[in-house]
Chains A and B, each alone.
Chain A
Amino acid sequence: GQQLNQSPQSMFIQEGEDVSMNCTSSSIFNTWLWYKQEPGEGPVLLIALYKAGELTSNGRLTAQFGITRKDSFLNISASIPSDVGIYFCAGTRMYGGATNKLIFGTGTLLAVQP
């Protein structure tokens, strides 16, 4: 199935460090979402972006909807051990009719060492 290009694949960092991950696509998206998934659980929505150029924060998390509508990034500042998990970007594409089908990135595995 179709997936977005997400990087990096994995990150192993020290507690307190900042983290940055991004998603790119060759197609235009009209919504970008960022989710976090912990083992054996469903993805939890972190941030939703609806407009090109939009910059949104949620606590230590900041995400932006790229101006070209083909990319998005997520930053986590001052990481803590509970930030561990897999982070997925997801987007919905611009179609004539509503498809509401989310296309997911390949995920970024984040490990934080205390």
Chain B
Amino acid sequence: EAGVTQSPTHLIKTRGQQATLRCSPISGHTSVYWYQQALGLGLQFLLWYDEGEERNRGNFPPRFSGRQFPNYSSELNVNALELEDSALYLCASSLPHGPGTDTQYFGPGTRLTVL
């Protein structure tokens, strides 16, 4: 069974540009989560999508946004990029609501570098 996939693997942008990151969840998973992991730091929760809707949002500015498509894949958009947005962006997925749905499985991440 295929795990969570993310693309691209690496992304290099300049300040002020926009970045789009993509994620495909494990088959059967309807929830998708986005996390930011800056170098040397832990994982910070960004967004949670379930059944196409944004369910929860972390403490990040509005220029971080996303969406979930009918096939449950998801996109994370970062507008007006700043140098401190450079980080590993991780996507995770989990089963629909029910026992064990708190267990999230992670993709390999997208390394975003802002110059």
Binding site for B on A (CB under 8 A): 1, 3, 30-31, 33, 35, 40-45, 48, 50, 88, 90, 92, 98-107
Measured between alpha carbons, how far is A101 from B58 in the docked complex, in Å? 9
Which residue of chain A has the shortest Cβ distance to B45 in the bound complex?
A101
Q: Is the contact region of chain B dominated by helix, strand, or loop, or is it mixed? A: strand
| In contact, B59 and A1 (Cβ under 8 angstroms) | yes
| In contact, B44 and A1 (Cβ under 8 angstroms) | yes
Residues of B within 8 A of A99 (CB): 48, 55-56
Binding site for A on B (CB under 8 A): 4, 6, 31, 33, 35, 42-45, 48, 50, 55-56, 58-59, 88, 90, 92, 94, 97, 99-109, 111
Which residue of chain B has the shortest Cβ distance to A107 in the bound complex?
B42
Indicate whether A31 sits within 8 Å of B45 (C-beta atoms), given known contacts A1-B58, A41-B108, A100-B55: no
Query: A50: which of B94, B100, B107, B108 is its contact (CB, 8 Å)?
Result: B100
Which residue of chain B has the shortest Cβ distance to A43 in the bound complex?
B106
Indicate whether A101 sits within 8 Å of B48 (C-beta atoms), given known contacts A88-B42, A88-B43, A107-B42: yes
Which residue of chain B has the shortest Cβ distance to A4 in the bound complex?
B42
Indicate whether A102 sits within 8 Å of B33 (C-beta atoms), given known contacts A33-B104, A45-B105: yes
| In contact, B90 and A43 (Cβ under 8 angstroms) | yes
27 contacts between A and B (CB under 8 A): A1-B44, A1-B59, A3-B42, A31-B102, A31-B103, A33-B103, A33-B104, A40-B109, A41-B109, A42-B90, A42-B106, A42-B108, A43-B106, A50-B100, A90-B43, A90-B104, A92-B102, A99-B48, A100-B31, A100-B56, A100-B94, A100-B104, A101-B45, A102-B43, A102-B102, A103-B45, A104-B44
